[in-house]
Chain A
């Protein structure tokens, strides 16, 4: 024990925040060796927190009615006391922006700084998915651009037109990401050449005669120029998993600004895609970091016993996992699972049992838990992380069991429980549960008859025979048809998996 507590009061102020931030930073960077983006921490009111909720947590966002609906819903839940507000929101950007709620006590602010500004921040900066797929430096500028662009479209083309396109694009957001290949990026040379060709065409097709027409009569539209680079058909590279990309590229009815809207929605979907694949790891990492840091603060005498208890109270609430037959059960709590697994990795590194030595020969007893965790945070996503690191001990603690569900049977069958025969099987099944490739419908563009009646052929590749939900399928197909402009055929196919 050394040093006096950094704060004793419940209330926070900016001076104390700064002192605490520095103490946390010292532990996070010095002891744990985390690598983070520069931090920008903003204090906001509860109303602003609701605002932030309804714009997908981003500090700026284009306007759309669905965000208003989200706000109305959250507002109702919050006012009715059905849900509390998050203590923080953190944005994957550089600088990394974290929002602190003004109502938090000083202890909670410390917890939140450790959680968001160091835990999430480290994860965003180091995890391979985020490094490869998102551009933290550019996202805020891009959102600013998107907001301005869409507002300009509102003015020029009318709100209804813009909303129609955005509605349809939102409906396809889940099918608007590249899962396996990197988005094709036109290189600079090619882009320049393309622009040059367009200019040339405009110049060559300009006809002075049209200028002599009386006002109000439009010259006939120029015939579309055949771009050898964008030759339809031959270069479509089917099948294509990214519906939005395909439509943006090949739809014959969309105007340039409409294509740009699709591109904006697609970019957002791609930006959020890594977050959807790393919920457990992301929250686990942040929870583990705050848990470690708060304890270190206490050990150094920088926070009082009262603070530690307040922290533990809230921490246990966050990592609580209701059981399946509990009224509160709503699926696995990513905080609980993630934190549980990471705390377990630390235990395996420091105090392994015989079982751990058998299951994790490389980790067991190595002592370097922070190295092991940092490696996991950097190189795994939920699915692979669970497949690799879920230990039998944790499966027993969670009392996991596996059910087999066949649609035409009237009962679920228990196929595995937390015992010797069940561990590996269940671990794989749980990992599958976090594989977006399995849980999201896999829909691909398999054909487009551009020379004939322009029908678009989509195929849903079924996984283990699970079909699409019928009513929503019809609704979404209507949206696809709006964007494509011609008939759309969606077939169920077997992925053969």
Chain B
């Protein structure tokens, strides 16, 4: 009689449908929470599982319940009396202290508490993309795990016959034959020749008879030895070994350049950050290793860490070319272009010192663009300005100057953004190119 059923191999994720429903239900709260949590997180951290805390608004499950705190009377019994006698009084805990009948607050599951749970990378990306209005095709390519490739990994003693490595096998066999002194065909031939000569000079004496017998014996031994020491033994056989390795093994560096002078506010930086995040995500998919270099500039450029990049302020004028120079310095020092794919993303509000734009264009055309895989320049405007500059050709000095660069170089993109949804079009070009390549 078997009473037992092994369910462990049943398909997992029985409650996946419920989870999707829950995420859908709490969409608004989750989106808010994810945006907030992305805002506080590092550029490279977007594609990770993370905890999100949402308010229970929208996913409340109210039930009628009693509220003995407001009116009425009740009796209740508790365990663990120590010193109380009938007639004693115990002060009630103040409201919100959370003592007393802990049961009421906790198990009804609908206090005003926030609700915290872990979202997977996929779910996070879904929310992130939703806001950026990426087309579905791109979303799936971004989330796809990198393809893998078989790589050679030495030799093994076991494998399929098609993978036999002949050179190795023969070399082993040769070594073994040498070590065990397997007679060569030449040795046999020589013995046979000696035997032949001896037989021919045979004069019937016992002396020559023993000599012939000795040679015969030696020959027989040599032939037998050849027989039991195989030419190729199973222990000699070697196979080519392969292991799976992720395909994109090359490395990339991403330069984030940003104008941090006073005119770049909270909103501008947030937009720029989303742009960097997306670029990083994209690079992450194509390259095994992605370094990020943050360069901020006012009238002077510095390499800084991410925290400072996004959150600290500096005052001063705006000279864009200093950042480009800094980038070139770092590139020369640490990222030699033959080993690294270089991407650059520059965010600015479009203002620079007059005359500097021309200098920038020169640097870009002559030094930077030959090195870069891709250079994206985004100009962050507010929505009002966006309307004014509806025409791509008009704009501030830097914009007009950069337009000339993008005319020369196909991998130089310029774009104006005022809303998160404007960010994606910058990438459209990038993706199209990568598909063609």
Q: Contact at A422–B79, with CB atoms within 8 Å?
A: no
B384, CB-defined interface residue at 8 Å:
no
A412, CB-defined interface residue at 8 Å:
yes
A404, CB-defined interface residue at 8 Å:
yes
- Residues B107-155 near A (CB distance < 8 A): 107, 109-110, 115-118
**How many chain B residues touch the partner (CB < 8 A)?**
67
Stretch at the interface among A136-144, A309-317, A458-466: A458-466
A194–B12 CA distance with the chains assembled, in angstroms:
45
Q: Contact at A66–B61, with CB atoms within 8 Å?
A: yes
0/1 interface trace, chain A 150-181, chain B, CB 8 Å (1 if under): 00000000010001000100110111000000
**How many chain A residues touch the partner (CB < 8 A)?**
96
A407–B72 CA distance with the chains assembled, in angstroms:
6
A468, CB-defined interface residue at 8 Å:
yes
B160, CB-defined interface residue at 8 Å:
no
A476–B79 CA distance with the chains assembled, in angstroms:
34
A43 and B8 contact, Cβ closer than 8 Å, known pairs A331-B103, A402-B77:
yes
Q: Contact at B79–A65, with CB atoms within 8 Å?
A: no
Which of these, B8, B71, B86, contacts A415 with CB under 8 Å? B86
Q: Contact at B115–A73, with CB atoms within 8 Å?
A: yes
B388, CB-defined interface residue at 8 Å:
no
Which of these, B4, B66, B91, contacts A17 with CB under 8 Å? B4
A76 and B78 contact, Cβ closer than 8 Å, known pairs A68-B15, A470-B67:
no
Which of these, A326, A432, A475, contacts B75 with CB under 8 Å? A432
Measured between beta carbons, the chain B residues less than 8 angstroms from A68 are 15, 17-23, 25
A432–B72 CA distance with the chains assembled, in angstroms:
16
A42 and B7 contact, Cβ closer than 8 Å, known pairs A79-B118, A329-B102, A401-B78:
yes
Which of these, A67, A173, A174, A323, contacts B80 with CB under 8 Å? A323
B68, CB-defined interface residue at 8 Å:
yes
Q: Contact at B89–A413, with CB atoms within 8 Å?
A: yes
A322–B102 CA distance with the chains assembled, in angstroms:
13
Measured between beta carbons, the chain B residues less than 8 angstroms from A21 are 3-4
0/1 interface trace, chain A 71-104, chain B, CB 8 Å (1 if under): 1110110010000000000000000000100100
Q: Contact at A429–B22, with CB atoms within 8 Å?
A: no
Which chain B residue has the least Cβ–Cβ distance from A243? B64
B200, CB-defined interface residue at 8 Å:
no
Measured between beta carbons, the chain A residues less than 8 angstroms from B19 are 68, 71-72
B228, CB-defined interface residue at 8 Å:
no
Q: Contact at B3–A465, with CB atoms within 8 Å?
A: no
Q: Contact at B73–A472, with CB atoms within 8 Å?
A: no
A330–B3 CA distance with the chains assembled, in angstroms:
37
B332, CB-defined interface residue at 8 Å:
no
Measured between beta carbons, the chain A residues less than 8 angstroms from B179 are none
Measured between beta carbons, the chain B residues less than 8 angstroms from A51 are 12-15
A405, CB-defined interface residue at 8 Å:
yes
A487, CB-defined interface residue at 8 Å:
no
Measured between beta carbons, the chain A residues less than 8 angstroms from B234 are none
A43 and B5 contact, Cβ closer than 8 Å, known pairs A65-B25, A399-B80, A466-B72:
yes
Measured between beta carbons, the chain A residues less than 8 angstroms from B84 are 401, 414, 417
Measured between beta carbons, the chain B residues less than 8 angstroms from A54 are 15, 18
A454–B21 CA distance with the chains assembled, in angstroms:
34
- Most-contacted residue by chain A among B69, B76, B79 (CB, 10 A): B79
A31, CB-defined interface residue at 8 Å:
no
A329–B79 CA distance with the chains assembled, in angstroms:
10
Measured between beta carbons, the chain B residues less than 8 angstroms from A407 are 68-73
B334, CB-defined interface residue at 8 Å:
no
- Residues A203-233 near B (CB distance < 8 A): none
A79–B120 CA distance with the chains assembled, in angstroms:
14
Which of these, B14, B24, B76, contacts A402 with CB under 8 Å? B76
Which of these, A43, A321, A325, A401, contacts B7 with CB under 8 Å? A43
Q: Contact at B15–A55, with CB atoms within 8 Å?
A: yes
Chain B nearest CB, measured from A396 CB (Å):
10
Chain B nearest CB, measured from A277 CB (Å):
17
A410, CB-defined interface residue at 8 Å:
yes
Chain B nearest CB, measured from A473 CB (Å):
7
- Residues B88-108 near A (CB distance < 8 A): 88-92, 101-103, 106-107
A463–B389 CA distance with the chains assembled, in angstroms:
70
B436, CB-defined interface residue at 8 Å:
no
B59, CB-defined interface residue at 8 Å:
yes
- Most-contacted residue by chain B among A40, A67, A422 (CB, 10 A): A67
A469–B14 CA distance with the chains assembled, in angstroms:
35
Q: Contact at B79–A321, with CB atoms within 8 Å?
A: yes
- Residues B35-54 near A (CB distance < 8 A): 51
Q: A71-B19, A329-B80 are in contact. List 11 more A-B contacts (CB 8 A).
A: A51-B12, A55-B18, A66-B61, A76-B117, A173-B63, A416-B86, A429-B76, A432-B75, A433-B77, A462-B72, A464-B72
B interface with A by C-beta (< 8 Å)? 2-8, 10, 12-15, 17-26, 51, 59-82, 84-92, 101-103, 106-107, 109-110, 115-118
A interface with B by C-beta (< 8 Å)? 14, 17-18, 21, 39-45, 47-48, 50-51, 54-55, 63-69, 71-73, 75-76, 79, 99, 102, 159, 163, 167, 170-171, 173-175, 321-326, 329-332, 398-418, 421-422, 426, 429-430, 432-433, 439, 441, 443, 460, 462-470, 472-473, 475-476, 479
